[in-house]
Structure formats: structure tokens, C-alpha cells
């Protein structure tokens, strides 16, 4: 059989002599019959399951449903674990390890006898990390997201992860006591799955569906809904055919697919983290994507999904309204409808017959939820290589604002002074947080949406302009400028801001300006010193030495591109 000769796995299991014996014999200790090794497509199930990644805690069970589909289609499924990144648990920030996890996925896929891969992810970083790794190998791959949690319930009201910020501010200003605050924990996280709003995990689930690397409906089916298992099962069936068709990631993740993903992200009000992850993916698969593309391709796209944190509803409601295919269908005038997807059909063909069941949850381009959407890319002397802001999460009156900087040199400085009653700050100030970028923290944590000072919360202030070289949680909101590049630790002008400097934000004109003369900045630069983080070994040292800035996707410079799937030397 010709197919048998083409299968990568036959480079292991199809061998004769001592090598073939070794490749097969040890596998047989798991009870696999001999004919499993005789030319069936071997499908890896790359699993980010971990009890330390609570959003992915159900992925072991989901993998069993993938296996059913693989077996039905005549494949041979083999599940393997990769490094898993629990957003809420890992210190100092899960983002520090996204590239490390991608290396794990890449080498695990390449080094093993796999013809195709089903990628199982859910929590924020688990999706981009394993997809980045898979892109660098480029064998047929399909993504299955874990799905979101059911909507939280608190005293008869719907709640979700976005409410953390509201609850914690209510707790800080004395409107919710500590016992009540703690009571809400279990009410918010009451089922399997990732955060129940359009936070980063749901954004990533939409990203993979709009890129075309999943079956339709992947993004919105809740984790606890039996149709999530059906999707896993069908994805298991489909990957076997993808191997036969040699439908690799690079054939799906084209420039057109990336443009589609940017437009869909704008329409769903996706997280700002989308920017760094999509840029990193483009770098792996060899698509030329720039920060400006995010502004350009989201420019005419209104917000269609009325989902928290930009809107009102939860991911569960999004699914019942028809899910992402409704949004994709609504955007057909804008999208590259001919982009091929994992099921072999185009993204346009996949929306034939799709209906919307709730126009309050998913608007139309004629009657959108909001006109503002997408990502605004800012430039100026403060961020020559760019910074971003999410207009749909910001306060309209603050989008044009001039104010005096109140500078925090790092996160510890912010925490120690923000609630100081003597801090010289009012609602017109611009809060600046330095040294939370890729190199400076290191790892670019989600602290850019700094909580407001207690004394201003007590006055009823709900939003202020905040600027940092870090990221913000996809569940957060506010007039928050993020991803300033170059970051403070890389010697950019951002590191030279002092309290009292005037900063001007002008979103309409995409400008962020530090009103300090070039002469004064040159004087400050002459005495500026890079901080010493005291890191001299291990992955963190390698990360600091090789990480690229936010405008390039925060990947390691030597991981760009694809090494392919070939392994020329045997292990014996
Ligand atoms: Fe895992 Fe939000 S913390 S998805």
C-alpha cells in the first residue's frame, strides 16, 4: 500500500531487524495488537491535562472521546502529555513558560512516530503554546479546545471571571466583606472548563476556529455539554483523513486565515493577548504579520458578540445563540471566505445553513453591539515600536486624554504605594507601570490593568488611563494601554518617564505622546541603568537573553520558523 510507505510512523514501526523490534516491542507492553503497527496512521493526542491547570482538568476524559474517533476511522491513537500552564496558579506568570511549553510540544511531536496530531488545550497559554510547537513541525494537526465553564451563579445572578475585578474592588472599598468575597469563589467556578467570558481562553478558542484549525463550533460549546465530547470524537475521526490528504497546518494557516482571525477577534471583542499569540504563531508558520495588520483588518469590523467583559452575556449564551459560525457568517463581506479549514471545506462553506437563535447575544453588522471593536495600535515617542488598547473595553471619554504621569517603577512599587493616602494622584492622572514587559518582569504578566487607588475608588472613580509594558487579563477592562515596545527594561523611552511628566493619549489618531523634550530624555537616558534581576541560569536566563518584544509576539528569537518533521537519525 502506497499510503503505508508515506506514513512517518513507518519510519519507526515499519522497520525490520533490531530497530523495528525495539520500536514495537516496548509499545506492546501496553497491550496493542501487532497489526496496530502495520501501517495505520498514528495519531498523537497532545494533552495539556493537569490538575495544576484547573481549566484543563477534564482533558484526560476528552482525550478518550478523541480516541474513539481515531479508532473508528482506522487510526492508532497515542496520547502524550506536554507541559501545561495554569494561568491562575503558575508563578511568576504562565506567559514566562509559553515558549518553553511550545518547545516541549514541538520536540514531542517531531521525535515520536506520529502522522497527525490532535491538540488539546483550554486555559489561556495552553492553546498558543502547543499550536506554536505544532506549527514548527507542520504535520496534519487539528485543535480541540476544552470549552468554557458554565455560567457562575451568585445570589440569583450570573457571574463569571470578569466579576473578580468588580468583587475585589467592592471588597477593597468595604462594600463586600471578606466572608462574602470568599463565598463567591466556588459559585464562580462551578464546572469543568475555562473562564466563562470572552477572556483569553475563549479568545484563543475563537482564534483556532477562525484560523480554520478546528471543526466548526469548537469555540463556544461549553466544557460540560455532551456536544463537546462529540466534537472531540469527530475531530478524532477527521484527523485520520487529514493525514491521508496531507492537510498540514501551513496549508490552513495562510496569510488569509490570519486576516480572518483578526477580523473575527474584533467582532467577538477578544482579549488583547490575542495580539502576542497570533504574532508568535505567524512567526512559526512563516506568515508575514505586523502589529499594523491588527488595526488595519479590524478597522471596519463592529463588535457583534455581546459578551463580557466588553458586553453582557457569557460563553454559554454565545453557544446557545449559534456560536462562532454565526459571527463568521455575519462577517462574510469582509472575510477571505475561500480559506480552507480542517474539515476540508472553506470557512465560507462551513457557515452554510447556520442560523442565529438570539440576536441580543450576537448582533448583525447592520445592528452591532458597538461600533468600536478590535485593537487600536498606538505609536509615538513613548512607544516607537507600538502599544495597544482595546477600545471596546475602554471608557469613551478617556480615549482622548492628557494627564500627569504617576509612575510605579515595578509591580512591587505599585503594590506598596497605590493605596497610600498621601499618593499624589487624582482621576486625571495617568498611571504608569514599568518593568512588567517580556524581559523586565520577566515574562510579561497580566498586571497592566492596575487596580485604582483606594481613595479614588471611594470617590466613585471607575476608570483612569493606565499604561504599561505588560499585558492584561482577557477578563479585564478599562482604558488600559498595554504592550509598550520597546519595554522599559529594553532601554526604551518608556523606562525614562518620571512622575509629573505629561502624557497624551489620542486613540482616534493612534498617538501616545510623552510631552518631554528630546534633550531631557537624552539626559535621563545617559544615567539610565538596566535593572539587575539576578537571573543567571536555566530557562529564565535563556528567556531574558532571547525573548523578542511584544510587537514581535514575545517568542524566542531562535524559535521563529519551522524545522519540519524530518528526523534523520535513529535512536539505536
Ligand atoms: Fe484558565 Fe481563565 S484561568 S481560562
The per-residue DSSP string of 336-389 comes to -TT-B-TTSSBTTGGGTT---S-TTTB--SSS-SBS--S-EEEBSTT-TT-EEE
Residue nearest to atom 2 of ligand 1 (CA): 195
Compute, in angstroms, the gap from residue 124 CA to the centroid of ligand 1. Answer: 6
State the pLDDT confidence band at 6, using cuts at 50, 70 and 90: confident
Compute, in angstroms, the gap from residue 231 CA to the centroid of ligand 1. Answer: 21
Among 121, 152, 194, residue to substitute to test ligand 1 (most atoms within 8 Å of Cβ) = 194
- Per DSSP bridges, beta strands 511-514 and 430-433 are unpaired
Provide the β-strand partners of residue 170: none
CA angle 313, 318, 322 (to 5 degrees): 150
> Which ligand 1 atom is at minimum distance from the Cα of 199?
2
> Each residue of 537-559: pLDDT tens digit?
999 999 999 999 999 999 999 99
Mean pLDDT of 146-164: 92
**Ligand 1 pocket member 55 (CB < 6 A):** yes
> Which ligand 1 atom is at minimum distance from the Cα of 55?
1
Give the model's pLDDT for residue 4.
53
Compute, in angstroms, the gap from residue 26 CA to the centroid of ligand 1. Answer: 37
Give the model's pLDDT for residue 5.
53
Answer yes or no: is pLDDT of 30 > 70.
Answer: yes
Compute, in angstroms, the gap from residue 490 CA to the centroid of ligand 1. Answer: 29
**Ligand 1 pocket member 7 (CB < 6 A):** no
The model's pTM: 0.96
Q: Which domains does the chain have, with CATH numbers?
A: 376-533 (3.50.30.80)
Compute, in angstroms, the gap from residue 572 CA to the centroid of ligand 1. Answer: 42
Q: At what angle do helices 538-546 and 98-110 cross, to 10 degrees?
A: 100
Give the model's pLDDT for residue 178.
93
Neighbours of 26 (CB within 10 A): 9
**Ligand 1 pocket member 432 (CB < 6 A):** no
Q: Is 27 helix (H, G, I), strand (E, B) or coil?
A: helix
- Cα 399 to chain center, whole Å? 25
Give the model's pLDDT for residue 570.
86
**Ligand 1 pocket member 36 (CB < 6 A):** no
**Is the distance from CB of 195 to CB of 55 less than 8 angstroms?**
yes
Please give the torsion angle defined by the CA atoms of residues 238, 249, 356 and 237, in that order, rounded to the nearest 10 degrees.
Answer: 10
Residue nearest to atom 1 of ligand 1 (CA): 123
CA–CA dist 283, 546 (Å, integer): 15
Residue from 219, 157, 221, 222 nearest 188 by CA: 157
Residue from 176, 149, 148, 146 nearest 164 by CA: 176
Residue 227 φ/ψ, nearest 5 degrees: -70, -20
Compute, in angstroms, the gap from residue 32 CA to the centroid of ligand 1. Answer: 36
Mean pLDDT of 216-231: 98
Residue with grid cell 507542520, as numbered in its chain: 138
Give the model's pLDDT for residue 347.
98
Tell me the CB-side half-sphere exposure of residue 426, using CA atoms within 13 A: 3
**Ligand 1 pocket member 191 (CB < 6 A):** no
**Ligand 1 pocket member 205 (CB < 6 A):** no
Give the model's pLDDT for residue 336.
98
Answer yes or no: is pLDDT of 160 > 90.
Answer: no
Answer yes or no: is pLDDT of 3 > 60.
Answer: no
Compute, in angstroms, the gap from residue 266 CA to the centroid of ligand 1. Answer: 20
Total H helices, total E strands in the chain = 20, 14
pLDDT greater at residue 163 or residue 363: 363
**Is the distance from CB of 452 to CB of 250 less than 8 angstroms?**
no
The per-residue DSSP string of 199-219 comes to SHHHHHHHHHHHHT-S-TTTT
Compute, in angstroms, the gap from residue 123 CA to the centroid of ligand 1. Answer: 5
Long-range contacts of 249-252 (CB under 8 A, 24+ apart): 249/131, 249/134, 249/135, 249/138, 249/139, 249/140, 249/141, 249/213, 249/285, 250/135, 250/138, 250/285, 250/286, 250/562, 251/340, 252/211, 252/212, 252/213, 252/339, 252/340, 252/341, 252/342
State the pLDDT confidence band at 393, using cuts at 50, 70 and 90: confident
Mean pLDDT of 369-385: 94
**Ligand 1 pocket member 196 (CB < 6 A):** no
Residue from 143, 158, 297 nearest 206 by CA: 143
Residue 140 φ/ψ, nearest 5 degrees: -55, 130
Mean pLDDT of 30-40: 97
Lowest mean pLDDT among 95-99, 325-329, 434-438, 456-460: 456-460
Mean pLDDT rounded to a whole number for the chain:
96
> Which ligand 1 atom is at minimum distance from the Cα of 202?
4
State the pLDDT confidence band at 1, using cuts at 50, 70 and 90: very low
Give the model's pLDDT for residue 90.
97
**Ligand 1 pocket member 198 (CB < 6 A):** no
> Each residue of 55-79: pLDDT tens digit?
999 999 999 999 999 999 999 999 9
Among 87, 148, 192, residue to substitute to test ligand 1 (most atoms within 8 Å of Cβ) = 87
> Each residue of 134-150: pLDDT tens digit?
999 999 999 999 999 99
> Each residue of 101-135: pLDDT tens digit?
999 999 999 999 999 999 999 999 999 999 999 99
Compute, in angstroms, the gap from residue 551 CA to the centroid of ligand 1. Answer: 24
**Ligand 1 pocket member 199 (CB < 6 A):** yes
> Each residue of 237-271: pLDDT tens digit?
999 999 999 999 999 999 999 999 999 999 999 99
Amino acid at each position: 500500500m502506497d499510503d503505508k510507505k508515506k506514513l512517518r510512523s513507518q519510519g519507526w514501526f515499519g522497520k525490520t531487524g533490531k530497530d523495528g523490534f525495539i520500536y514495537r516491542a516496548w509499545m506492546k507492553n501496553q497491550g496493542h495488537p501487532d497489526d496496530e503497527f502495520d501501517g495505520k496512521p498514528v495519531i498523537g493526542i497532545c494533552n495539556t491535562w493537569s490538575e495544576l491547570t484547573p481549566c484543563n482538568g477534564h482533558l484526560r476524559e476528552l482525550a478518550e472521546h478523541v480516541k474513539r474517533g481515531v479508532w473508528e476511522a482506522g487510526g492508532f491513537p497515542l496520547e502524550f502529555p506536554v507541559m501545561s500552564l495554569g494561568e491562575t496558579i503558575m508563578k511568576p506568570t504562565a506567559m514566562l513558560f509559553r515558549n518553553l511549553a511550545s518547545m516541549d510540544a514541538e520536540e514531542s511531536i517531531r521525535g515520536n512516530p506520529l502522522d497527525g496530531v490532535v491538540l488539546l488545550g483550554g486555559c489561556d497559554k495552553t492553546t498558543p503554546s502547543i499550536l506554536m510547537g505544532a506549527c514548527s513541525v507542520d504535520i496534519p494537526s487539528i485543535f480541540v479546545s476544552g470549552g468554557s465553564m458554565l455560567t457562575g451563579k451568585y445570589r440569583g445572578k450570573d457571574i463569571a471571571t470578569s466579576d473578580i475585578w468588580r468583587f475585589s474592588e467592592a471588597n477593597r472599598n468595604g462594600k463586600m466583606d471578606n466572608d462574602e468575597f470568599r463565598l463567591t469563589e466556588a459559585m464562580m467556578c462551578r464546572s469543568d472548563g475555562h473562564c466563562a467570558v470572552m477572556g483569553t481562553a475563549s479568545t484563543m478558542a475563537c482564534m483556532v476556529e477562525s484560523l480554520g484549525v478546528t471543526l466548526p463550533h469548537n469555540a463556544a460549546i461549553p466544557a460540560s455539554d455532551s456536544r463537546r465530547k462529540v466534537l472531540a470524537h469527530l475531530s478524532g475521526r477527521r484527523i485520520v483523513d487529514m493525514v491521508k490528504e496531507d492537510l498540514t497546518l501551513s496549508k490552513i494557516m495562510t496569510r488569509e486565515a490570519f486576516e480572518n482571525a483578526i477580523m473575527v477577534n474584533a467582532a467577538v471583542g477578544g482579549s488583547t493577548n490575542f495580539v502576542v499569540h497570533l504574532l508568535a504563531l505567524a512567526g512559526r508558520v512563516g506568515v508575514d504579520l505586523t502589529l499594523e495588520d491588527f488595526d488595519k483588518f479590524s478597522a471596519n469590523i463592529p463588535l457583534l458578540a455581546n459578551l463580557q467583559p466588553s458586553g453582557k452575556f457569557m460563553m454559554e449564551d454565545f453557544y446557545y445563540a449559534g456560536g462562532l459560525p454565526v459571527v463568521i457568517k455575519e462577517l462574510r463581506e469582509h472575510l477571505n471566505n475561500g480559506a480552507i479549514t480542517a474539515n476540508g471545506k472553506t470557512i465560507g462553506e462551513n457557515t452554510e445553513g447556520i442560523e442565529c437563535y438570539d440576536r441580543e447575544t450576537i448582533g448583525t453588522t447592520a445592528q452591532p453591539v458597538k461600533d468600536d471593536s478590535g485593537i487600536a495600535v498606538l505609536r509615538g515617542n513613548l512607544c516607537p515600536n507600538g502599544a495597544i488598547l482595546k477600545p471596546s473595553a475602554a471608557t469613551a471619554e478617556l480615549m482622548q486624554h492628557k494627564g500627569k504621569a504617576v509612575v510605579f517603577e515595578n509591580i512591587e512599587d505599585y503594590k506598596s504605594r497605590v493605596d497610600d493616602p498621601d499618593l499624589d494622584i487624582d482621576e486625571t492622572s495617568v498611571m504608569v507601570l514599568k518593568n512588567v514587559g517580556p524581559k523586565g518582569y520577566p515574562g510579561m504578566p497580566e498586571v497592566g490593568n492596575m487596580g485604582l487607588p483606594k481613595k479614588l475608588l471611594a470617590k466613585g472613580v471607575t476608570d483612569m488611563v493606565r499604561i504599561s509594558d505588560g499585558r492584561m487579563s482577557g477578563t479585564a477592562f478599562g482604558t488600559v494601554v498595554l504592550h509598550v515596545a520597546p519595554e522599559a527594561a529594553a532601554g526604551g523611552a518608556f523606562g525614562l518617564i518620571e512622575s509629573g511628566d505629561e502624557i497624551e493619549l489620542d486613540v482616534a489618531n493612534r498617538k501616545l505622546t510623552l510631552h518631554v523634550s528630546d534633550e531631557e530624555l537624552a539626559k535621563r537616558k545617559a544615567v539610565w541603568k538596566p535593572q539587575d534581576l539576578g537571573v543567571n541560569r536555566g530557562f529564565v536566563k535563556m528567556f531574558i537573553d532571547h525573548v523578542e518584544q511584544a510587537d514581535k509576539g514575545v517568542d524566542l528569537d531562535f524559535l521563529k520558523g519551522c524545522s519540519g518533521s524530518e528526523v534523520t537519525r535513529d535512536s539505536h
